[in-house]
Amino acid sequence: MLTNLHVKDLALIEEADVEFGPGLNILTGETGAGKSILMGAVNLALGQKASRDMIREGASSCLAELVFQVENPGTRRALEELDIDTEDGQLIVSRKITGNRSVSRINGQTCTAAQVRAAAALLLDIHGQHEHQSLLYRDRQLEILDAYGREKLDPCLRETAECYSRYRRIKKELEDSQMDQAARAREISLLEFEIREIREAALIPGEEEELEKNYRKMANSKKIAEALGAAHQLTGNDGGAGDLTGRALRELSCVSGFDETLSGMEKSLADIDSLLGDFNREAAAYLDDFTFSEEEFYQTGQRLDLINHLKTKYGNSVEKILEYQKSQEEKLEQLQNFEERKAKLEEQLDGAEEALKEVSHKVSALRAQYCRELTEKITEALLDLNFLDVSFEIRLTRLPRYTEKGWDEIEFQISTNPGEPVKPLGRVVSGGELSRIMLAIKTILADRDAVETLIFDEIDTGISGRTAQKVSEKMAQIGRRRQVICITHLAQIAAMADEHFEIVKQVENQETSTRIRRLSREESVEELARILGGAQITEAVLSNAREMKELAEQQKTSRLK
Write a three-state SS string for 237-305: CCCCHHHHHHHHHHHHHCCHHHCHHHHHHHHHHHHHHHHHHHHHHHHHHHHHHCCCCHHHHHHHHHHHH
Rounded to whole angstroms, the Cα distance separating 519 from 5 reads 17
> Percent of the chain beyond pLDDT 70?
94
Rounded to whole angstroms, the Cα distance separating 544 from 530 reads 11
Bridge partners of 251? none
Rounded to whole angstroms, the Cα distance separating 370 from 359 reads 17
8 A C-beta contact, residue 386 and residue 399: no
pLDDT of residue 208: 84
**Sheet order of strands, 499-508 included:** 124-127, 453-457, 483-487, 24-29, 499-508, 511-518
Output 455 or 128, whichever has higher pLDDT: 455
Rounded to whole angstroms, the Cα distance separating 102 from 61 reads 9
pLDDT digits (tens, 9 = 90+) for 248-304: 777 778 777 777 787 888 788 888 888 887 888 888 787 777 766 677 778 878 888
Mean pLDDT of 21-33: 85
pLDDT of residue 179: 63
pLDDT at 222 over 80: no
Output the CA torsion sign for 353, 356, 361, 364: negative
pLDDT digits (tens, 9 = 90+) for 512-558: 778 888 999 999 999 999 888 766 788 888 899 999 999 888 888 87
8 A C-beta contact, residue 310 and residue 193: no
Mean pLDDT of 229-255: 75
Band of pLDDT at residue 131, cut at 50, 70 and 90: low
* Whole-structure pTM value: 0.64
Rounded to whole angstroms, the Cα distance separating 81 from 18 reads 30
Mean pLDDT of 430-456: 80
pLDDT of residue 195: 92
Strands 124-127 and 423-424: unpaired
8 A C-beta contact, residue 205 and residue 318: yes
57 three-class SS: coil
SS (H, E, C) 114-159: HHHHHHHHHHEEEECCCHHHHHHCHHHHHHHHHHHCHHHHHHHHHH
From the list 522, 433, 425, the residue with the least C-alpha distance to 470 is 433
pLDDT digits (tens, 9 = 90+) for 384-407: 888 888 899 999 999 999 999 999
